């Protein structure tokens, strides 16, 4: 049977939100499966490409091409921008799209709004790691959020969706206004536990057994090893908050060693400082499969670089759900040149 050009659809953020809302446990399961497929070698996940701008040094756009096998069977790319100055204008820092490609012909089959997908996969990864990395310690009762933007909100939502509750919730941000806004969000969401806005980073870290870093920091700004003397589990989602000396005094788990040790992440800076990688204990896949047991007498830091295969796992789920509901917004005749030899009758498009 000859391959035919598939229809091309656009999936807006409203549909993505509709599919994923309230499905936190299912998305966490998708992410765990993707990590397992990646750990088993059934993925292609090239290095992310960073597009930077000499005239806008704080901004960047990142390309994450990927392919995942297993049950997902998806190829595609995420194109995500980070423009921190957006926050001052009252709009989100990040925006993104995912393009999914047909496995048989390579033609794009969908362009999807992906800031929600990216936040969901990041939050699901963090929630999965929180569960896996605390199994030997017992679930923490005190959580602290360092950085209170879109990602922090999603991580809190996914932890709650996975059944977590806390006696104490700490909040810290360089902007007191943003910190108070996050506290208001927590109170409106019905979150259990006392919510405290901490004026200092030290107070937040010392009073939290589970610390979530979700900032836009481009370089380490926390260097005091003693702040972590109570050996918390740290979800180092923003990757560049911790000084190398903290990394070197901790047990370190990453999503992918080669991906994480680049682009001046905190683990990358630690590698440059000591000229080896022995401080990396293993990957989340190693913990999931029982290959790695973690100490309880040191902090445990999870530094996820963010794998494109995770975006594809969630994106494919959204695409298939929208398609099964008969709600795909197909763009007719999106591909104009559809015949190799210019014979319009031979197009076969959408057949």
Q: Nearest to residue 212, comparing CAs of 85, 136, 126?
A: 126
Domain ranges of the chain: 9-117+308-346, 124-303
Among 3.30.559.10, 3.40.640.10, 3.30.1780.10, 3.30.450.20, what is the CATH number of 9-117+308-346?
A: 3.30.1780.10
pLDDT digits (tens, 9 = 90+) for 42-94: 999 999 999 999 999 999 999 999 999 999 999 999 999 999 889 889 888 88
**What is the per-residue DSSP string for 108-148?**
EEEEEE-HHHHHHHHHHHHHHHHHHHTTTT---SEEEEES-
pLDDT digits (tens, 9 = 90+) for 185-242: 998 988 788 999 999 999 999 999 999 999 989 899 999 999 999 999 999 999 999 9
Q: How far is residue 251's CA from residue 279's CA, in Å, rounded to a whole number?
A: 7
Q: How far is residue 291's CA from residue 321's CA, in Å, rounded to a whole number?
A: 35
Q: Do domains 9-117+308-346 and 124-303 have the same CATH topology?
A: no
Share of the chain above pLDDT 90, in %: 86
Q: How far is residue 342's CA from residue 216's CA, in Å, rounded to a whole number?
A: 50
Instruction: Write phi, then psi, for 196 (nearest 5 degrees).
Output: -125, 130
Fold of 124-303: Rossmann fold (3.40.50)
Whether 156 contacts 164, CB under 8 Å? no
């Amino acid at each position: 049977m000859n391959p035919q050009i598939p229809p091309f659809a656009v999936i807006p953020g409203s549909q993505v939100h509709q599919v994923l809302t309230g499905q936190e446990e299912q998305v966490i399961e998708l992410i765990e499966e993707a990590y397992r497929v990646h750990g088993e070698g059934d993925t292609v996940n090239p290095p992310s490409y960073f597009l930077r701008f000499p005239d806008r040094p704080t901004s960047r756009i990142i390309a994450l091409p990927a392919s995942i096998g297993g049950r997902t069977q998806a190829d595609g790319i995420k194109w995500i921008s980070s423009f921190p100055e957006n926050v001052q204008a009252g709009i989100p820092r990040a925006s993104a799209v995912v393009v999914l490609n047909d496995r048989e012909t390579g033609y794009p089959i969908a362009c999807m709004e992906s800031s929600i997908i990216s936040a969901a996969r990041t939050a699901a990864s963090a929630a999965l790691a929180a569960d896996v990395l605390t199994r030997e310690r017992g679930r923490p009762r005190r959580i602290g959020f360092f950085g209170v933007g879109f990602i922090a909100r999603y991580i809190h939502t996914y932890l709650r969706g996975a059944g977590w509750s806390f006696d104490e919730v700490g909040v810290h941000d360089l902007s007191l206004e943003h910190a108070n806004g996050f506290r208001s969000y927590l109170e409106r969401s019905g979150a259990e536990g006392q919510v405290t806005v901490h004026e200092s980073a030290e107070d937040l870290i010392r009073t939290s057994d589970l610390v979530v870093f979700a900032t836009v920091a481009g370089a380490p700004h926390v260097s005091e090893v003693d702040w972590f003397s109570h050996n918390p589990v740290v979800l180092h989602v923003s990757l560049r908050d911790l000084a190398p000396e903290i990394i070197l005094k901790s047990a370190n788990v990453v999503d992918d060693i080669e991906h994480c040790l680049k682009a001046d992440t905190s683990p990358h800076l630690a590698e440059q400082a000591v000229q080896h990688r022995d401080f990396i204990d293993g990957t989340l896949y190693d913990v999931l499969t029982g290959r790695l047991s973690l100490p309880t007498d040191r902090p445990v830091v999870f530094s996820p670089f963010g794998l494109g295969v995770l975006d594809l796992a969630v994106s494919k789920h959204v695409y298939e759900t929208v398609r099964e509901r008969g709600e795909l917004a197909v763009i007719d005749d999106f591909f104009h040149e559809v015949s190799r030899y210019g014979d319009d009758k031979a197009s076969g498009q959408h057949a």
